[in-house]
Amino acid sequence: MTAAGALATDLDAGRYEAAALRLIAGLLIALRDTTPPARGLPAGAIVQCSGRAERAWDEVQTDAPRAVMWRGITNMALNGRVALVAGASRGIGADIARYLAAAGAKVVVAARTEVQQDPRLPGTIHSVVEEIKAKGGEASPVVLNLRDGESIANAVKATVAQYGKIDIVVNNAAIFVPGTLETVQARHIDLSFSVNVMGVILMMREVYPHLRAAGGGHIVNISSGGAIFPGPGPYDSTKVRSGDIFYGPQKSLIEHFSQSEGWRNQADGISVNVLAPRGRIKTPGNLMASNDRENPNLDFDTADDMGKATVWICEQPATVLNGAILYDSEVVKSKGL
């Protein structure tokens, strides 16, 4: 008797539970034999892969992780994915790491801070990992210094050694250098460009082979509203932008570079997108310069919209979302996150 005939017989005889089991089994077999889906599509989505190399199926997860709750996120949309988050010991990076873990990703929390040394900068790679684990997620700490190419390479190697692959990379680490062009020290200019520009570029270069080996993946480069050009003058001299004079231009470079790289690597299933906060987020790093070391203000903002938006970006296939420059609150509002 055919499968369809057996299903009809069960229904006619009132064996509804048996009929339901037959139907589920048939659907599972159909999904198993279907063309592999593009990365980032919801589980069970079926797409045609004509005109490009077929992507390997994600590994079937036989040991589904425990459901994780982080500010309402429990959809496990990134179940089985491996994410490396640079600059994740506190602030925006730490919150992004938490949200990725809550969505099912195995997260490598990467940064320089292993031991807290400044009361204005609470948080270490170990404390963030423990928070994720306490909520049922999976995470590992890795020391990362973006000024050091060898440290970047070692962090990538450690991620692959721990979890076998890399699917997602978030470049969040950055530093701020105060002063004007006439007052800032040359060594601080070098430091700024080493971390905010070269560190991002070298990280992307290191992870490309692993993203290809995984069948594609996502790079999310964190930017800022400061990347928006001030435009032509004449200017209102009473409203000169304050803060780091290099940070905005550096982020403009990263945005341009991200679009170029997304274009170059889309055929391999790799997307390179940019995400920025819409407005100020009062993180430890953001408040540090004005914070009192002896009596620090520890009333920080949480980057919930950045976390939610990052998860959403990593759900989208490279052929649908690539080279986008997005703002966190706009993504959250438009997608109902």
The catalytic residues are 235
DSSP secondary structure of 280-292: ----HHHHGGGS-
**β-strand partners of 86:** 110, 171
Buried b / exposed e across 155-174, counting CB within 10 Å, b at 16+? bbebbbeebebbbbbbbbbb
| Consecutive H or E run containing 127 | helix 125-134
- Quick one: angle between helices 3-12 and 16-32, nearest 10? 160
How far is residue 20's CA from residue 337's CA, in Å, rounded to a whole number?
A: 33
